[in-house]
Structure 1
Amino acid sequence: MALRFLTWVLLGTTTVGDDARVVGRLAILMAAWWTTEAVPLPVTSLLPIVILPMMTVRTISETAAPYANPIVLLFVGGFLIAIAMQKWNRTSIAASPSSPSAASARIHDGSCSAFRSSSSSPASRGR
């Protein structure tokens, strides 16, 4: 009941379709669940896949299509790698000074001893 009232307050008496009102109510419900964490966030994020096919004329495949965006899948893959690194305690290895990113930083700032000029270089031996 509160969801209908809040939708009426936000949309007023504008002439929008029933589908738009369902999406508005769903957005309000998801915002409330997201901020209060009444249910886990993955459940909240998948709510449109369940609610929209039941309440509108859209099919499940039409509703789920935006979830298959390549950018979304790229983020999901990165998050899965991060979760695996945390689970196996590999985050400290990635952040250690001996990691490849730290080594490349030493090479670029000139602090790596292999790239310093010394008196034993081939150019200075001949003199």
Structure 2
Amino acid sequence: MKALTIRQPWAGAIAHLGKRVENRTWKLPANQHGARILIHAGAQPDKNATVHGPQLDIFGAIVAVATITDCHWSDDGTCCGPWGFQNAYHWTLDNVDALSEPVSAKGALGFWAPPTDVINTVSTQQAEVTR
């Protein structure tokens, strides 16, 4: 399973505020379409963001798991509701599961492979929720 680092407050908005699109300047790699990924809140915030709410102040941790179901270009950003940006690729997310406890991890650019202990901790949390 791969992870994707996303700056706050966007990672928290995916986990807790119903944001179901990730805006990117690059097209989703074909091998990630349909993939289940870890959502990692980066160490640095997006200083231009104006989103406020709970759980948006967690940094350097896995905060959710999601499935990438689509990727499309948007000129005007309106296709994905209030979360879609103009002139960006929109990666549509589904089956988003917020973690009850963030899992500390060092992120990286692009898709990256988390250490086994991080994946195991996330899997344990998810298994406890489904019991």
Fold match by TM threshold 0.5: no
Larger radius of gyration: 1
Bigger fraction of residues in helix: 1
Q: Which structure shows the higher strand fraction?
A: 2
Structure showing greater relative contact order (alpha-carbon pairs closer than 8 Å, 6 or more residues apart):
2
Q: Which TM-score bucket, shorter chain as reference?
A: under 0.3
